[in-house]
Amino acid sequence: MDKLSISHDKNEHTKEDRTFQREINLARNIQSTLLNGDIPSIQGGEVIGSTLPARLIGGDYYDFYPLLNGKIRIVIGDVMGKGIPAAMLMILTRGAFRSAAESTKGPGDNLTAMNQAIYKDLRALKSFVTLFCADWDPNTGMLTYANAGHNLPLRVNGKTKEVTELPKAKGIMVGGLPNQVYQEESIKLEENDTIFFYTDGIVEAQNERNEQYQLERLVETLSSNQEKAAGELESSVMESIHRFTEGAPQKDDITMVILKVTDEKSDISSLNSPVLNM
């Protein structure tokens, strides 16, 4: 092969690399736009979500869906795998959630409908998604939720700063088995309570010595920063993780959603056209 042919091949590879990189960046921008949309403005509380993918794009997912009855539906999930394949399945999961949220009465029905909608696709791809879905009613203080194999969120007591897991709600991951019916549990939240939804990338974050951040450190961070607003608490958790990992490469996506209760009544600004959920 002469020098001209070698040079031509190198140029072609360089063009392909640049095209691939542009496509990756476009996929990242699409995912970032979908994940970082407008946060619902609510009275009676505040919600915020954030995600930090381990690669340019990731498979973690969170979303908010305001309902016309004054409730807000919150979901957080973790797609099996990482990178582009997981990101593609995350988009599939998002579509299934939003479609089901328009026509289901509660979080249990929402997860049941999602499993029905995407089970065959997930099985064909040998994948699954863990999800936790919750409806919060600011007028009554009730948090109703269902679980599909996900980490139980943590409740930070606004008075005592005690941190506990929510009472268990059983359910296997979406894509695990067909015809699943997800049961609901409910608890009443009090003023200044905080609910911390998260993916396992937080507690499994590692430093250079392969030590994990672990649940105990997360609990301590939440308790000591409980009085902060949702956005400030999110920053405190991320700072704690970064201090612990000391710059070690991130191995898994890190995602959290924070719901903080205040004493004001609800007035949720709808971001879409949700159904009336009785």
What are the residues facing 146 on neighbouring strands?
A: 133
Closest by CA position to 79, among listed 94, 65, 64: 94
Domain 36-261 sits in CATH at: 3.60.40.10
Domain ranges across the chain:
36-261
Q: What ranges in the chain are assigned the alpha helix state H? A: 3-35, 83-101, 107-124, 214-224, 230-245
pLDDT reported for residue 273: 33
* pLDDT for 55 beyond 50: yes
- What residues contact 213, with CB distance under 8 A and at least 6 apart? 202, 203, 204, 205, 206, 241, 244, 245
What CA–CA distance (Å, rounded) separates 145 from 151?
13
Strands 142-148 and 129-137: antiparallel
Mean pLDDT for the chain overall: 86
The residues, ordered by sequence, that sit 6+ positions from 31 with a Cβ below 8 Å of its Cβ are: 57, 58, 87, 90, 91
Q: How confident is the model over 161-182, as a mean pLDDT?
A: 96
Instruction: Mention every residue, 6+ apart, whose C-beta is less than 8 A from residue 15.
Output: none
**Is the pTM of the predicted complex or chain greater than 0.75?**
yes
Per-residue pLDDT tens over the stretch 145-168: 999 999 999 999 999 999 999 999
Taking only the tens place, the pLDDT of each residue in 225-266 is 999 999 999 999 999 999 999 999 998 999 999 999 987 544
Predicted pLDDT of residue 266: 42
Is the pLDDT assigned to residue 13 strictly greater than 70?
no
Please tell me whether residue 1 adopts helix, strand or coil conformation: coil
Conformational region of residue 241, where left means phi above 0, alpha means psi within -120 to 50, and beta covers everything else = alpha
